Amino acid sequence: MTFEEFVGARLGAILRYATVVAWDRHLAEDITQDVLARAQLRWARIGRLDAPELYVKRMVLNEFLSWRRRRSTVSMPVDRLESFAPVSPDPAAAHDERDAMVRLIGTLPPKQRAVIALRFYEDLSVYEIATLMGARPTTVRTHLARALESLRTALPSTVKEPR
């Protein structure tokens, strides 16, 4: 598969993944462009891998967590999250738990946000996440537990009540 074929087939999926990891559409676009530009320069090697998409996704994750991105990911202005407003907002749902969750995930530390992206969006196991992040499974579990606890604690009380 050539690089152009790969981008044609998988750009959408990679960008969606990057957006969920970064939780910022503009940052995700920036990271995706950077990573794919780097991948293009190395495509002779990456293209021969069994799973080039997995490799590229790992590059996206590393780029997001890299120190060069720390400044833009440590504290995300809430107004950046407005870019995730639905195209046709549902007035009845404007303040529901889904909006709250979108905002709350954006407040998580980058590693916690990345872990929940890999766990729930990519449906990876703790061990797979640990391999991808180069961390120990216990570290991943800690990030995951803290993320879930933060979200559970911060959710509006109406959401916490059993329905």
Partner 1 sequence: MSQELEDLIRTAQLRVADAADPGGVREGIATRAARLRVRRTIGTVAAAAAAVIAVALAVPLSSSTHRSAPIQPPSASPTTAAGGSPLRYRIMSLPTGFVEKGRIVADPKADNPQIEVVRTWTADPVGANAVGMPKEVRLFVLRKPDATYYDRGTPVDVNGTTGYYDHLAAGPSSTVSWPVGDQLLQVVAEGGLDPTQEAMLRMARSVRPDPATTRAPLWVSWLPSGYTLSSVAVSGDWPAEWQCSVFATTDPQDGPDSRYSLNIRLATGTPAPEGGPLVMVGGRPGRILDNEANTRFLVVNVDDLLLTVWTSWPAGGTPMPDEDLIHVATATVRLGDPTTTAWIGSP
Site of interaction with partner 1 (CB under 8 A): 7, 11-12, 15-20, 23, 25, 28-29, 32-34, 36-38, 40-42, 45, 58-59, 62, 65-67, 70, 83-84, 86, 97-98, 101-102, 105, 110-111, 116-117, 120-121, 133-135, 148, 151-152, 155, 159-160, 162-163
Half-sphere exposure of 35 (CA within 13 A, CB side): 29
Residue 104 CB, shortest distance to partner 1, in Å, is 8
Minimum Å distance from CB 94 to partner 1? 13
Give the DSSP letter of residue 121.
I
CA distance linking residue 54 with residue 144, whole number of Å: 21
Least Cβ distance, residue 23 to partner 1 (angstroms)? 6
Round to whole Å and give the CA distance between 97 and 150: 15
d(CA 44, CA 101): 41
- Joined together, the tokens standing for residue 97 give 């738990």
Count how many Cα atoms sit within 13 Å of the Cα of residue 55 in the half-sphere of its side chain. Answer: 15
CB of 138 to partner 1, least distance (A): 14
Structure tokens at 131: 């391999």
